[in-house]
């Protein structure tokens, strides 16, 4: 008899198999009991009949506690009434590990309670669905870049300098010196692009942002491609192609998870249609001012502004060419203007905000050095980065996609905290 995972049930219809998992829920009447079983791969129903199992085993089954670990032997049957489509008719059951007073019961719990029990909450079906989608997006990312000849390079997490700005750095003591948790892998990705042509990093990044919003984590995961001989225009095309690819991958591989989450596939399909609309920062300001937003040219956008702009488009929208003063030091000046840079933020629809930030990078040694100084940074600290402009500097561009925000958007979830297994927030470091 084969030990199988629930997800593979379709290949074992009418066959006797063994399942190992946990009892997520149960209900029973005098003669029949239904166990909601999960094994990490999926959830399905186990049916136990008193007439078949005998009094003692049936009685034990009706008394199983929630989250008891069990080994089940039975026959897989089609089950037209469930979304999953299969169930197991139990012939034998053995308890592997009891579970007494499992804290998360089928009744509704508050978010703080659930977050305090995040290590257990991950077992529930909605969280399971979100993490499956997250996993598929990570998988599709590696596939997308691998197919296009990119090399995955690993940026360090401990860094000596700020990668983005100096306002939200996590400082750590590094044997008596100051080090910071990386805000971005980008500067190292640029070194990688000069070594391998096309690279991407994927790793955790850190921002000591004191913002308590549904879009911000203090530790989040970012995918940062960096491409040599690539201008801003080419980068925008790659960005939209990548986003459409990820959405299509989720549509193709996450059917069950999308059902659990109730995410509208027609809406997601719209986001696979290219190209995405583009507007300039100047146009965005004009739109906002016409709608009586209190914003002047030069201001950065917050969530209400981004949401308002996004509402005018059916798909994600690029906002291009932001003022130099509100963007990072490494961005290249617009060729025709000295007040804006060659950059874009990709704003997701439905109020999810910025999912990608990207730009063409400054390639000239002297200009870049001056930009570093103008941003109040010490150019000596960036000497290695400036080397990239000393030795064979070429046009290059890149961008960063915030994985957790992207997952929040695709799953149609309200808050970013459910898009990452163990969220780190302003007021949360537990569990």
Q: Which of 72, 199, 279, 355 is the binder for ligand 4AD (CB under 6 A)?
A: 355
Nearest in space to 61 (alpha carbons), one of 35, 38, 36, 80: 35
CB nearer ligand 4AD, residue 13 or residue 429: 429
CB nearer ligand 4AD, residue 349 or residue 398: 398
Residue 418 engages ligand 4AD in binding (rule: CB under 6 A): no
Tell me how far, at minimum, the Cβ of 357 lies from Mg ion, in Å: 3
Measured from each CB, the residue nearest to Mg ion is: 357
Dist CA 375 CA 165 (whole Å): 8
Tell me how far, at minimum, the Cβ of 218 lies from ligand 4AD, in Å: 7
Nearest in space to 131 (alpha carbons), one of 41, 49, 198: 41
- Is the peptide bond prior to 116 cis by the omega test (within 30 degrees of 0)? no
Residue 404 engages ligand 4AD in binding (rule: CB under 6 A): yes
Query: Under rule CB under 6 A, how many of the chain's residues touch ligand 4AD?
Result: 22
Tell me how far, at minimum, the Cβ of 174 lies from ligand 4AD, in Å: 22
CB nearer Mg ion, residue 45 or residue 205: 205
Residue 398 engages ligand 4AD in binding (rule: CB under 6 A): yes
The answer to whether 247 touches 133, Cβ cutoff 8 Å, is no
Q: Where are the beta strands (DSSP E) in 106-251?
A: 151-152, 158-159, 171-174, 177-181, 198-206, 219-228
Dist CA 83 CA 44 (whole Å): 9
The answer to whether 412 touches 263, Cβ cutoff 8 Å, is yes
Q: Which of 184, 235, 321, 413 is the binder for ligand 4AD (CB under 6 A)?
A: 184
CB nearer ligand 4AD, residue 46 or residue 398: 398
Pick the stretch among 76-84, 220-228, 274-282, 317-325 that binds ligand 4AD (CB under 6 A).
Answer: 220-228
The length of the chain is 431
Select the binding partner of residue 411 from Mg ion, ligand 4AD, none (C-beta < 5 to 8 A, by kind): none
β partners of residue 406: none
Nearest in space to 45 (alpha carbons), one of 4, 95, 83, 97: 83
The answer to whether 199 touches 151, Cβ cutoff 8 Å, is yes
Residue 357 engages Mg ion in binding (rule: CB under 5 A): yes
Residue 163 engages Mg ion in binding (rule: CB under 5 A): no
Give contact residues for ligand 4AD (rule: CB under 6 A): 164, 184, 186, 207, 209, 216-217, 220, 222, 224, 354-359, 398-400, 402, 404-405
Q: Which residues bind Mg ion (CB under 5 A)?
A: 357
């Amino acid at each position: 008899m084969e030990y199988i995972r629930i997800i593979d049930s379709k290949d074992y219809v009418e066959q006797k198999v063994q399942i190992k998992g946990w009892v997520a829920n149960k209900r029973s009447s005098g003669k029949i009991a239904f166990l909601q079983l999960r094994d990490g791969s999926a959830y399905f129903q186990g049916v136990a009949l008193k007439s078949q199992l005998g009094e003692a085993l049936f009685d034990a089954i009706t008394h199983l506690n929630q989250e008891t670990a069990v080994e089940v032997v039975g026959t897989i049957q089609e089950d037209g009434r469930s979304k999953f489509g299969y169930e197991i008719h139990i012939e034998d059951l053995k308890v592997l590990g009891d579970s007494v007073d499992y804290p998360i019961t089928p009744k509704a719990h508050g978010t703080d309670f659930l977050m305090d029990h995040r290590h257990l909450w991950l077992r529930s079906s909605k969280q399971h669905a979100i993490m499956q989608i997250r996993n598929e997006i990570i998988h599709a990312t590696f596939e997308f870049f691998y197919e296009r000849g990119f090399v995955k390079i690993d940026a360090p997490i401990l860094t000596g300098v700020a990668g983005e700005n100096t306002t939200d750095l996590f400082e750590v003591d590094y044997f008596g010196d100051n080090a910071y948790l990386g805000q971005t892998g980008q500067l190292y990705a640029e070194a990688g692009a000069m070594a391998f042509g096309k690279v991407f990093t994927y790793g955790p990044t850190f921002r000591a942002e004191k913002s308590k919003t549904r879009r911000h984590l203090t530790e989040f995961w970012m995918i940062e491609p960096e491409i040599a001989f690539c201008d801003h225009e080419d980068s925008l095309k790659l960005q939209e192609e990548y986003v459409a690819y990820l959405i299509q991958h989720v549509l193709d591989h996450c059917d069950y998870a999308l059902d659990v989450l109730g995410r509208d596939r027609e809406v997601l399909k719209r986001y696979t249609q290219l190209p995405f609309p583009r507007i300039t920062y100047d146009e965005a300001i004009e739109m906002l001012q016409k709608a009586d937003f209190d914003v002047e040219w030069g201001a950065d956008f917050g969530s209400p502004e981004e949401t308002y702009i996004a509402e005018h488009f059916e798909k994600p929208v690029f906002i291009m060419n932001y003022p130099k003063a509100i963007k990072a030091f490494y961005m290249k000046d617009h060729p025709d203007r000295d007040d804006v840079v060659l950059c874009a933020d990709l704003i997701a629809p439905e109020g999810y905000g910025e999912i990608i930030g990207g730009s063409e990078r400054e390639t000239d040694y002297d200009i870049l050095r001056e930009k570093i100084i103008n941003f109040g940074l010490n150019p000596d600290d960036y000497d290695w980065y400036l080397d990239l402009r000393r030795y064979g500097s070429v046009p290059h561009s890149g961008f960063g996609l915030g994985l957790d925000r992207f997952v929040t958007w695709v799953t149609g979830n309200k808050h970013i905290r459910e898009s990452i297994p163990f969220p780190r927030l302003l007021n949360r470091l537990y569990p």
